[in-house]
Amino acid sequence: MNKATTFNIPVSAGDEDHYRLRMGPQHPATHGVLRVDLDLDGETILECDPRVGYLHRGFEKLAEHRTYVQNLVLTDRLDYMSAMANNVGYSEAVEKLLAIGVPLRAKYLRTMVCEMARLASHLLWLATHALDIGAMTVFLYCFREREELLELFAELCGARLTTTYTRLGGVRQDVTHSFMMRLERFVDAFPACIEEYETLIDTNRIWLKRTVNVGTVSAEDAVSLCLTGGSLRGSGVDYDVRKHFPYAAYDRLDFEIPLGETGDTYARYRCRMEEMRQSNYILRQCIEQMPPGPIVGDDAPDLVMPNKPGRKVEVDTPARQALIKLVEDRDTFMEGDVYVPTEVPKGELGFYFISDGNGHPYRMHIRSPSFIHIGALKTLAKGAMVADLIAIIGTLDVVLGECDR
């Protein structure tokens, strides 16, 4: 029998009885291309070593050679479950760096799309988390509502996934009446849908057995592991960028930050379910309070190509001319650095810019929650079983596009 050379992981002395399993990067439950090297004793995890980088596209380096406007499209590809929230996060950061004002209507629109993105992302999280644990029907129920949200995105900006909706100084398109009507219908119907998911799993004995006391992380550990978002609040730490460092129109809206107590998978699940209710409530307020006015600021640099009324697009001067102007107009850009966090569905997404006054960032760093959450996997999975690892990956709510960027 011809034996091909095997790809062996070196086994250190004394560990010969351990079973080494390389889970991923092509594995159905690792949410993309996460690779986890496991050291198993039976099915108990002795050592868990997450390896990332299989989806690395070099966004941070790429951003250094592109203008601030051009970089916006890269943020769609970070966390592709909630491209809208990334767009907003990026725009907020660049606006702070370049001191660009945003009109109130645009702020509300941004808040609205952020919360829609949060719902879309949380729905996908619930769907895959439930599917990982084996509850198949929840998966399809969630996709039913997510589909409606994506259709709404398509109606708003023409794209379902890679939206590129915001512009520096505002947003690209204004909402239409039919869009608002449709969103209102969705907002009215959605709380009943959350209840529907909960009837399937909330008090299901098997679901409880699989999630309660699984992947427990204490409040201190959660803070020291730099967890953010639902993963942090599940441990009872009250931190939400929307409340503590408000951006867009969040300071004008009324909402609560749901907190868990136990810090296990079930607490995080409950937390995110409540967050969906709160998001729905925020959406309702956005619909009711939506102020009139322009959607792009007056002091926005003319690099946003806004749909200004009466503006004529000349034949040979579309984007090209705007870009040339952008690079020439060096006065527009200040020097210095800025870090702006925003609360995306997965946690705190921060953009850190260093500007040397050029038309493009000298350095752009993305503080992506998924990357940091995957770092926490090593601690959380220790001593758990293989099946628990799947639940833990699900509950940390990671997406590899954002992690590897």
Point out which residues bind another protein (CB under 8 A).
Answer: 1-4, 6, 19-22, 27-29, 43, 130-137, 139-141, 144, 200-201, 204, 206-207, 209-210, 385-388, 390
For residues 138 and 129, what is the distance between their CA atoms, to the nearest angstrom?
9
Minimum distance, C-beta of residue 13 to another protein, in the bound complex (Å)? 21
By C-beta, is 223 or 386 nearer to another protein?
386
Kindly tell me which of 4 and 13 has the beta carbon lying closer to another protein.
Answer: 4
Closest by alpha carbon to 369, among 119, 171, 46, 121?
121
Of the pair 92, 264, the CB lying nearest another protein is at 264
Provide the H-helix boundaries in 171-311: 177-201, 205-211, 219-224, 230-233, 241-244, 265-289
- Please report, for residues 23, 114, 379, 392, the alpha-carbon distance to residue 384 in angstroms, rounded to integers and kept in the order given: 15, 35, 10, 9
d(CA 298, CA 313) in angstroms, rounded, equals 19
Minimum CB distance to another protein smaller for 357 or for 383: 383
β-strand pairing of 170-171 with 335-344:
unpaired
* Shortest reach from residue 236's CB to another protein, in Å: 26
Residue 340 sits at φ, ψ, to 5 deg, of -125, 115
Locate tokens 């009507």: which residue?
Answer: 181
Least Å from the CB of residue 300 to another protein? 44
Which CB, 157 or 193, lies closer to another protein?
193
Backbone angles phi, psi at 366, to 5 degrees: -110, 120
Asked if 164 and 69 touch (Cβ cutoff 8 Å), the reply is: no
Examine residue 258 and say whether the peptide bond preceding it is cis (omega within 30 degrees of 0).
no
- Of the candidates 307, 298, 305, 297, the one whose C-alpha atom is nearest the C-alpha of residue 321 is 305
- Which of 201/249 has CB closer to another protein? 201
CB of 357 to another protein, least distance (A): 50
Shortest approach of another protein to residue 269 CB, angstroms?
12
Q: How far is the CB of 4 from another protein (least distance, A)?
A: 6
- Collapsing DSSP to helix, strand or coil, 72 comes out as helix
- Extract long-range pairs of 321-330: CB within 8 Å, 24+ residues apart: 322/69, 323/67, 323/69, 323/70, 326/67, 326/69, 326/301, 326/359, 327/67, 327/359, 329/301, 329/359, 330/357, 330/358, 330/359
Q: In terms of CB distance, is 121 or 128 closer to another protein?
A: 128
Nearest approach in angstroms of CB 133 to another protein is: 4
Q: How far is the CB of 325 from another protein (least distance, A)?
A: 51
| Least gap, CB of 43 to another protein (angstroms) | 6
Looking at the Cβ atoms of 95 and 145, the one nearer to another protein is: 145
3-state secondary structure of 20: strand
Between 137 and 176, CB nearer to another protein? 137
Q: Least distance (Å) from another protein to the CB of residue 190?
A: 16
DSSP state of 318: S
Nearer to another protein, 174 or 202 (CB): 202
> Using CA atoms, how far apart are residues 291 and 287, in angstroms rounded to an integer?
9
Instruction: Report d(CA 17, CA 270) in Å as an integer.
Output: 39
